[in-house]
A and B are shown apart, each in its own frame.
Chain A
Amino acid sequence: MSNAAPTGPARSLRTPEQKLAIFNRVLSAALILFFASAPLILPLVTNNFWIGITAEIMMWSLFAASVNLLFGYTGLLSFGQALYFGAGMYGVAIGVAQIGLGFWPAFGFGIFCSIFMALVTGSLAVRLTWHYFAIITVVFSLIFYFLALTMSSITGGDDGLAFQLPPMFQFGDTEISLTNSTLQYYFIFIVVGLCFFLKWRLLASPFGRALVAIRENDVRAELVGINVYMMRLASFVISGFFAGVAGALFAFFGRYASTSYMFYHVSGEAVVWAIVGGAGTLFGPVLGTGVLIIIREELSLYWDHYLLLVGVIIILTVIFAPKGLTGLINSTVLKIVAPKHNPDTEAQSNLADDKARQPAE
């Protein structure tokens, strides 16, 4: 794509689209830099409470990213992602508390549970699309929610399942474990970061392009030779994997598992985060999750009905910014950089304008 003419002053000939790409790269870098340095800078401006919130935002972002992979890239709106979050969470808690696994085996067990669950339910669910798909995902998550609630000998039922944090590494007498809050933060940062890296690579590959093709036009995708069912299932399982990793991290973070995190209300929240942030963009869900969790944490202290504001934000987003906050930022940046372009690139900038306008229609 970047076949810019090798001759001439390339710097001044950047199209608005290229400028936007640079802006997005800078924004992404700033986002990563913020999360990387939050435990160091946040105590300078506010209290340590916000480090925990930032860690939470990272985990929930990964959860929203799992919805985004399905909805934003594959065109399947799942309202049951909490099931895989819960599977990861209970996998860890049951692994530690009931089976007596160590840290890493329990982490692996949690992820395995979520993948297994996604494979079993997904193989049925992805035969459907649109509202049928949304409904069946809700139904699956409700079935397992009530199952977890009633099987209290294993899951702890209503009380949830608390556990003692096992050490990550042990060298003789020295133990390294997540009880060190800085270590815990960076453990979450690295795991979530790796997942986002994986998602980025996947989406850039022929596999990711095939998912977008299915989102755009599944009939045509099948006709060009894409195995739509297998691609949807693969997307569903990978999405379940991301949700499971988020759930497993959350179990370690809270040292317990609870059925309340498996309720479909949690799934719905992830859908909202993804849409408000911008479905179909890599970092959109991070933005959406961050903004809405900060609103929740700040506002819920002063106002019991803060969800009203969240509702208004969602309605405004869906009507005026279907591409979410990310789309809003992108079109604003395009508007700023577009008028100053070189006449040579006029045609291309018109195109960029069209693209920016497109979602608003």
Chain B
Amino acid sequence: MSANTNNNVPVLETQHLVKRFGGLTATNDVNFTLASNGRLHAIIGPNGAGKTTFFNLISGRLKPTSGKILFKGEDITGYSTHRIARLGISRTLQIKSVFDALSVEDNIWIAAQAKMAGWHPLRSARHFPDTQRRVDKVIEEVGLQEIAKREAGTLSYGDVALLEMGIALASDPELLLLDEPICGMSPKETQRTVEKIVELSKLVNVILIEHDMEVVFDVADDITVMAQGGILAQGSPSEIASNHEVREAYLGFDEDDDGELAIMPNEQDIGQPSKGAHSNG
């Protein structure tokens, strides 16, 4: 597997990916390619479009019904979740999920040492200078230095989101999957988190699922639109905004105006009606 040295091999590629739950096809023949070019890629789509299912398939939490998933050219279809994580795909969850009873530092520490958890059973976890350096760096990257010793369960919602990103970054991944990272945040928290995401996307390949259209069209370099389990359209924000199919199927607009970006600022029209209580897949 010397694929990682080859720049032509995409970071992530899915081929005819299908996932069915009984009669429901949550992911329908998805062919997705993410080139390793340090761009921020967003996935949008209405509720039930199969976005989170797509993430669950990539991260191994669900096994595909058919199709293939390639990570840096390696076929990872059917790998276990922890094995995929160790290969370099990290993700956050839609419902924020950290180690509540542990400090911020320990949260990141555990993630940084996950690969070696089965080894060195008699050596103190504290006596790993490499881990210490990594943890310090990640805490700085996500900007949680001041509350590094706080218990994760006592953090504000916005800080938990940053911590979750820190946990995902701790293992030094090559691909970061963010599932609605700013969902449910105050405007101030949103701004801070979005800035962080843009910063991170320069260090690591990021795929972002997000419902906030203002944010998506503001920060994403590329957008994939999903609907009913399949990919509806792919392209730059301006291409997507002027795509008639997308406007009809997802944005719910007829061709009323003159196909301009007029819809984009009106977030409340196109975002989903109720944030918070949505279920994908």
A33 within 8 Å of B (CB atoms): no
Question: With contacts A209-B113, A213-B99, A216-B102 known, is A230 near B118, CB below 8 A?
Answer: yes
The reply to whether B122 and A206 contact each other, CB–CB distance below 8 Å, is: no
Q: List 29 A-B contacts (CB under 8 A).
A: A205-B121, A205-B123, A206-B116, A206-B117, A206-B119, A207-B117, A209-B106, A209-B109, A209-B117, A210-B118, A213-B114, A217-B97, A217-B98, A220-B97, A220-B99, A223-B82, A224-B90, A224-B111, A224-B114, A224-B168, A224-B170, A225-B86, A225-B111, A225-B114, A226-B110, A227-B80, A354-B151, A355-B151, A358-B101
**Residues in A neighbouring B59, C-beta threshold 8 A:** 223
Q: Mark B32-54, 1 if CB is under 8 A from A, else 0.
A: 00000000000000000000000
Name A's B-contacting residues (CB within 8 A).
1, 198, 201-202, 204-210, 212-213, 216-217, 219-228, 230-231, 234, 348, 351, 354-355, 358
Would you call A358 and B85 a contact (CB within 8 A)? no
Q: How far is the CA of A222 from the CA of B81 in the complex (A)?
A: 6
Most buried by B among A202, A207, A209, A225: A225
B115 at the interface (CB under 8 A from A): yes
B116 and chain A: residue at smallest CB distance? A206
Q: Are B113 and A210 in contact (CB-based, < 8 A)? A: yes
Contact A226-B121, Cβ < 8 Å, known A219-B97, A354-B151: no
* B121-146 interface (Cβ within 8 A of A): 121-126, 128
| Contact A210 B122, beta carbon cutoff 8 Å | no
Main secondary structure of the interface of B (DSSP, over half): loop
- Contact in complex: B118, A231 (CB < 8 Å): yes
Residues of B within 8 A of A209 (CB): 106, 109-110, 113, 117, 125
Asked if A225 and B85 make an inter-chain contact with CB atoms under 8 angstroms apart, the answer reads yes
**Chain B residues closer than 8 Å to A234, beta-carbon distance:** 118
List chain B residues, Cβ under 8 A from A212. Answer: 99, 101-102, 110
The minimal Cβ–Cβ distance linking A54 to chain B, given in whole angstroms, is 29
Verify if B149 is at the interface (C-beta below 8 Å from A). yes
Judge if B14 is at the interface, Cβ distance under 8 Å: no
Report yes or no: A224 in contact with B119, Cβ–Cβ below 8 A: no
A207–chain B nearest beta-carbon distance, Å: 5
Q: What 7 A-B pairs have minimum CB-CB distances, sorted nearest first?
A: A210-B117, A225-B85, A225-B114, A216-B99, A224-B111, A206-B113, A225-B86
CA gap between A221 and B61 in the complex, in Å: 12
* Chain B residues, Cβ within 8 Å of A224: 85, 90, 110-111, 114, 167-168, 170-171
B248 in the interface, Cβ–Cβ < 8 Å?
A: no
Say whether, besides A220-B97, A224-B171, A202 and B113 are in contact (CB < 8 Å). Answer: no
The residue in A202, A208, A213, A221 that gathers the most chain B C-beta atoms within 10 A of its C-beta is A213
- Give the CA-CA distance A219 to B93 in the complex, in Å: 10
Q: Return the chain A residue nearest B96 by Cβ.
A: A220
Q: If the complex has contacts A212-B102, A222-B81, are A204 and B124 also in contact, measured as CB distance less than 8 A?
A: yes
Q: Which residue of B lies closest to A207 (CB)?
A: B121
Contacts of A1 in B (CB 8 A): 126
- Asked, given contacts A206-B117, A225-B115, whether A351 binds B106 with beta carbons under 8 Å apart, the answer is no
**B7: interface (CB < 8 Å):** no
Q: Tell me whether B151 and A223 are in contact (CB under 8 A).
A: no
Closest partner residue, chain B, to A2 (CB atom)? B126
Q: How far is the CB of A238 from chain B (nearest CB, A)?
A: 9
A336 smallest CB distance to B (angstroms):
22
- With a cutoff of 8 Å between Cβ atoms, the chain B residues found around residue A221 in the complex are 99, 110, 114
The interface residues of chain B lying within 8 Å CB-to-CB of A227 are: 80, 82, 117-118
The reply on B150 being an interface residue by CB < 8 A is yes
